[in-house]
Structures are given as C-alpha cells and as structure tokens.
Structure 1
C-alpha cells in the first residue's frame, strides 16, 4: 500500500508541471457604472445611464520550449452587456509570440509602445475621464498586424512595434513598417519616466506627409501619494499638419484609511488650426478597495471643448462604479 502511495505521489509530482503548462489561464474584468450623463451643448442629452466600461474576458498561457525559451499567447475580448456591434464582443489584445532571457517577440493585435508608455499616469482609465478622451490626436492605439519586441536591461525597458499597412501602396501602404511605434522607460523605486514616439509614413492619403506623435510621461511616488506629468505633441496618422495637437496632463492620487484613494486629473489640449480647438478634461474621484479583485468608486468628470470662443462640447458624468476582476 505504501509503495502504491509513493508511486502515486511521484506520478502526481511529475504530472503537475505538465498540466500547469498545458492549462490556459482564463481571466476577466467586469466594470459597470451608474450615473448622470450630460451633454451640455445645445440640444444635448441629460439622463441616467447604466454602462459597461471595457469589461473583458480573456485567455492566456505559455508553453516551455526548453533552453529558456517559451511560446506565449493571449486572446482578449471586450464584452458589452448591451449587445452592441459584433454581438457585444470586440477585439482587444490578441497575439502569440516567443519569450526568453532576451525579451519577448509578439505578433498580432497589440497596444502600441506609445500607448503602453503612459504607465500608471492615468488615474481614470476606462471611464469618461480616460486619457484617450482628452483630444483628437490621442495616441491611445491598439492596432492589427503588429510585430512587437519588448525588452529590459536593468531599470530600463524598451519596446518597438512595426505595423505594415498591408495595402496596395495607394490607400494603406505596402511597406514592412508603414507605421512605427517605439518607447524607452526608466523605473527605479518611486520614479518612472518614459519617452515614446509613433511615426506614420505617407500612404497616399495626404501627399508628401510623414507625421509623428511624441509622448513624455513621468510619475513619482511619495509615501501614499503619486504625482504624474504628461506632455504630448504631434499628429496621429497621415493627417494635415493643421491637426497637430499639444497636450499637458497632471494627475494626483493619495491613499487614506487603508483601502481608500482620492484621485484627481487635469488634461488640456490645443491644436494649431487657424481657429484653434482647445479642450480641457478634468476629473476627481474616490476609490474603495473591498479586496484585491473588487473595488468601487465615486467620480465626477467634465470634458469642455471650445473653438473661437464657442463651446462645441460640454460633457459631464457624475456617478458610481464597480470593478470586479477574476
């Protein structure tokens, strides 16, 4: 009997890593809010809404190939309980690749390095006050056909993504890298600093253009507080030079009472058109963490856009949200 138990134990010990390697990880997040949504412009809406904010489900895993090399994969979908387009599903990051001591290579649909460079600056991600809602040339892109490399050396992280247009050279480009996104970041202790740039080659949409957008971001932690600064300038995609925007963003958070966090954020943008469009996105809120995977929040946000002294956008949100991860 003892011999059988020993044999069973040895077999189980040998099989456990094999099963763990083969079994993918299923994960997700449900993010819902309820509150007053108001469009303050003439003829705008003013109502109460229950909404989903980038709720998602995904599967990820890796497979040991030996000699320090692993195959990796991740497939993630955004889920809309209101059953919008695509029967309530939309694609998020979806890729496969290889990982080793030299870094990672990923192929598929992926966030650009410039998007990832924001780090933990954005205190209101996936809400009305998300960084991506601040201006037209936002840089917050998740693209198809991405060939990405992510590496690290000490406290320095770097990434580069090549995105072919896969077109005929007239409408979408036909080169190996019609768009390029690259970033380099330094993180040590409380300090995080990153520099990133997206470059867009001319694909026929705007004759003779080759545009780029540059982002500089930093965060610094002091005890329970964090300060964030973001500067961004340029044109996203192949667009007229008059679409160029300058951004300046500030974020702040402080923890209190063990499970609570007060946060505030302010982002202003201005383009260089003859009649410039100026926008301001500001928000304040309080988060409460129930446990490691469940949190709730109260927040207020306002997006104000003006052109030639006239208001063209005045959107506000006041409400509460719940975030559950699994």
Structure 2
C-alpha cells in the first residue's frame, strides 16, 4: 500500500508542472467559394471559379514563467490549394513575445495596429468585397520585423508597432523605427470607436507619408452599423497618391440563423487625373453551428480614371467557412 501511495504522490508532483505548461493549440479555417467572376472592362474575362479565401492553419500557445509573466507564441500559414509562395503556403502572423498584467510585447510578423483598428467594420473580409479591394492605399498591412506592444486600461485598448526598414538609408530606412503604426480604441457594450495612424519615413529625406483611419461600429438589438473614414498614403516612397475613403457597413439578423449584410465604400485620390473608386457588396450569411457557416453574396468594384473605366469587377456566388 505504501508503495502505491508513494507512486501516486510522485506522479502527482510531476503532473502539476506539466499542467502549468499549456499544450500548443492547433487551429485553422477553410474558406472556399464558387461563383461567377466577371471583369467588365474591355477585353475582360467572364468565367466560373472555385476560390480559396485566406484559408489557414496555425499553432499557438503560452508558457507560464511565474510571477504573472507568460511567454506567448503564434505561427500561422495561409493555405491555398491553387497557388502560393511555397507549395501553397504563405506566411501570416508569426511572432513570439511576453504577456503580463501590463499588456503584451510581440516580435515578428504581425498585423499593424491600423489594420487591427478596423474591428468588425468589414463584413466581407477575405472575399471580393473585402475593404482592401476598394483602393490602393488600403492600410491592410501585415509586416515583417515588427516590435509591437498591446495594452488595455478599462474600456480602452491601445497598440503601437515599430518597424525598422533594415536598409542602408538610401534604398531603405536604417533606423530603429522607419515605420510606426499606433492605435487607440474605446469599447463599451454596443459601441466601438478606434483611431489609428501609420507614419512612414525612408530616412533619406525623399519621402515622409502617413495614413490615418477612424472607424466605429454600433450594435442596436439585432443590427450593427459601421462607419469608416481614412485618408493618406501608405508607404514611405509612394508619392502623389493620397486617397480619401468613406465607408458604411450594415448587418441585421433576418432569422435565428440567417443575417443580411451590406457594405459600400468610396475612394478618391488627388492625382492630376482624378481617380474615383467604389466597392459595393451585399450578402446573406447562414450559421450552421459555432464553427461552420455559409453565404451567398454579390460584389462590384469599380474604378474610373478621368472619364475612363479602369476597373469593373463583379462576383456572384456562394461560400463555405469551416473553423477548427
């Protein structure tokens, strides 16, 4: 009996530290669509396509370091059955860092705070109706060489990312933070409001640009309304392409498992030949369960340069999203 008790005690003492170190979590999402894709410009294509939309797989976890401090990590890859940089795999967020009561510090490849500030405004993310398709200076950036801090105080969240250019000062910045992205967001019940700005400097004095985003969403019962304003240029060496964005999104439940959604964004720039763009998307989502949903949608992206139609792309089809 004593031997059995001793064995149980030893096993229990070994199990405690093992339980303290959480096992890595494997997760992912498969997002596929099938529909008619049309390029309405002269000589454009009109065909049916099966597409993968940022389908992904990843691993994440944390390790308790004691005294309220944890080590964190996340490595995520985009998986595309059609194409990719390496046999169908592209890099997404990949970082390691530290977490405590004071917030988080992350090092690696990461979404900018300006990108994260959109919150739940974009109702057609990863599809042809994604807000990044509305214009050139979209702010939806995921960058390498990021040192990011994320913090929270009450209903306020804030984030800042420093990105060295890792250049020689002529062809690229050579400072500790040639690009800076920062955001502050307030969330209280149905209200979410965020302000963010990216600043770019190539350090040789040839270009210093910035991009500013203001976004808000508000939930009223089964409805959500979102507003987006954005202005500026993304990238240190981009000149003469400032864009002004205005966008609205709307979503409402039409039954227990079905929702209607719509999104409209206009973009104008300040180039010599005026360029105007619009993105319009409508759709219906169906929720099978917590991790499986389907949708039907229509989207149209138009762009005019002067009096010439430079782009007129449409999509009409259905999609399926499975998370694991």
**For the superposition of Structure 1 and Structure 2, which TM-score range results when normalised by the shorter chain?**
over 0.9
CA gap of 1:310–1:60, structure 2 versus 1, over 3 A, is: same
Preserved CA contact (<8 Å) 2:111 2:142: yes
Structure 1 counterpart of 2:283:
285
Q: Deviations over 1:59-83 (max 9, x none)?
A: 0000000000000000000001114
Aligned residue pairs, count: 324
Partner of 2:43 in structure 1? 43
Matched with 2:142 is 142
Q: Does 1:247 align with 2:252?
A: no
**How far apart, CA to CA, are the structure 1 residues paired with 2:16 and 2:213?**
45
TM-score by length of 2: 0.96
Query: Take 1:6 and 1:245, find their aligned partners in 2: how far apart are those partners?
Result: 72
1:294 partnered with 2:292: yes
Pair 1:6–1:191, CA change in 2 (3 A): farther
Equivalent residue in structure 2 for 1:267, among 256, 265, 268:
265
Which residues in structure 2 correspond to 1:57-72 (within 5 Å)? 57-72=57-72
Q: Which runs of 5 or more structure 2 residues have no equivalent in the other structure?
A: none
Whether 1:90 aligns to 2:79 is: no
Distance 1:292 1:68, change over 3 A: same
8 Å contact from structure 1 (residues 113, 181) kept in 2: yes
- Structure-2 separation of matches of 1:317 and 1:118: 24
Q: Give the alignment's TM-score, normalised by structure 1.
A: 0.95
Distance change (3 Å), C-alpha of 1:175 and 1:12: same
**Which residue of the partner structure matches residue 314 of structure 1?**
312
Deviations 1:20-44 (A, max 9, x none): 6242000000000000000000110
Q: Which shifted more, 235-244 or 306-315?
A: 235-244
Whole-angstrom distance in 1 between the partners of 2:29 and 2:13: 33
1:214 aligns with 2:202: no
Structure 1 unpaired stretches of 5+ = none
4+ residue runs over 3 A deviation:
1-14
| CA distance in 2 between partners of 1:70 and 1:6 (Å) | 32
> How far apart in 1 are the matches of 2:267 and 2:153?
34
Aligned partners of 1:275, 1:26: CA distance in 2, in Å?
Answer: 49
Q: Deviations over 1:269-322 (max 9, x none)?
A: 000011111000000000001000000000000000001111000000000000
Matches within 5 A, 1:10-159: 11=11, 15=15, 18-19=18-19, 21-159=21-159
Cα distance in 2, alignment partners of residues 111 and 308 from structure 1: 34
Once the two structures are superposed, residues 53-110 of structure 1 have per-residue CA deviations (whole angstroms, 9 ceiling, x without a partner) of: 0000000000000000000000000001114331100000000000000000000000
